[in-house]
Amino acid sequence: MRALYKTGPHAGLELVDRPEPQPGPREVKIRVLTTGICGTDLHILEWDAWAASTIRAPLIPGHEFYGEVVEIGDDVRDVRVRDRVSGEGHIVCGICRNCRAGRRQLCIHTISVGVQRDGAFAEYVVIPQENVWVHEHDGATDVITPALGAIFDPFGNAVHTTLKFSVVGEDVLITGAGPIGLMAAAVARHAGARYIAITDVSAPRLAIAERMGVDLALNVATTPVVQAKERLRLKEGFDVGLEMSGHPGALPEMIRNMNHGGRIAMLGLPSAPIDIDWAIVVTHMLTLQGIYGREMFETWNAMAAMLQSSTWLHDAVSSVITDRLPATRWDEGFEAAHSGIGGKVVLDWTVF
Ligand SMILES: [Zn+2]
Ligand SMILES: [Zn+2]
């Protein structure tokens, strides 16, 4: 099969021929139709300090994908050949305290598809049956298109973060209008937020944000967040903050603009320690909550249900995909994802 391959512990990827993976008794083999390019994949391509300390090379990366089941192991139940599926990329141990309590997103031994085992930048991928998400379809048309199916993983990050605290009737500040921040805005709108402000430094991304139903898209290269409070005529401050950028300036500025008792969910991963004013956190009684991955599988259930029940949300989330390229042009796709100005990039693996 054709696969994007990290041949060893160094920068770069190569499109090469690799043997097809074979499913074990409890595993599922999927013909990959589409794969999303994630920030994680850019780190793997560039082989930075994080990649060097985390990745087992050689490796086929890729963890955001959609495809069709072609083979199942002998002990697989509930997944059938020809099912259209996405994959949860976090493989959990099943026996640690959190796993046994049903909190699998908190597993202390999580390993990741496309990071510590071969992933989906390939014509075929194998994952455990527990990690397969089967998309329902009503016969004639699939609600979940191959492109949309490829971004269930990051859409799940957006849903997990946005629904961590109730946004109904609340004023929401989202810092970072990358693909996940944009999808979070759409989810907050769908879930009943009052005002939504989103920040970024990319004009094209802020333009996409307008389609997500935000009330204010603020360029923080030129305008401080305090202006958002004024423009939306907030008397006190934001009730819910969603930090999606990892930028060292974003969280401190968010903290300064929250109402007392405000709740902040943080998905953006800072690359170094950041300085925040803990006195504000204490005296304003703020809640800071880290978010990682998706709840298994309540987030997945919420994603499927919301996309099924809201055409608006379906179209808003789909519109975050701005680039679709054949896998043979993977380098252009990585370049577009790296540019930080557009939306989500999806590769098509049906071109060989
Ligand atoms: Zn990802
Ligand atoms: Zn575990």
Contacts (Cβ under 8 Å, ≥6 apart) of 60: 3, 4, 5, 6, 18, 114, 118, 119, 120, 121, 122, 125
Task: State the alpha helices, DSSP H only, in the chain.
Answer: 39-46, 49-54, 97-100, 146-150, 152-162, 179-191, 203-211, 226-231, 250-256, 278-283, 298-309, 311-318, 330-339
- Which domains are assigned to the chain? 2-151+320-348 (3.90.180.10), 156-290 (3.40.50.720)
Instruction: Pick the ligand that lies closest to the CA of residue 294.
Output: 1
Mean pLDDT over 199-221 rounds to 96
Q: What is the pLDDT of residues 279-308, one digit of tens each?
A: 999 999 999 999 999 999 999 999 999 999
C-alpha 180 – ligand 2 centre gap (Å) = 26
Cα angle for residues 207, 209, 215 (degrees, 5° grid): 105
- Please write the tens of the pLDDT for every residue from 211-220: 999 999 999 9
Ligand nearest to the CA of 155: 1
Question: Do residues 289 and 262 make contact, with C-beta atoms less than 8 angstroms apart?
Answer: no
As separate numbers, helices (DSSP H) first and strands (DSSP E) second, the chain gives: 13, 17
CA of 342 to the centre of ligand 1 (A): 16
Q: Tell me the pLDDT band of 141, cut-offs 50, 70 and 90.
A: low
pTM of the model: 0.97
pLDDT at 140: 59
How many angstroms does the Cα of residue 192 sit away from the middle of ligand 2?
A: 34
Active site (annotated) includes residue 43: yes
Inform me whether the pLDDT recorded for 139 exceeds 70. no
Give the integer Cα–Cα distance in Å for 85 and 81.
Answer: 10
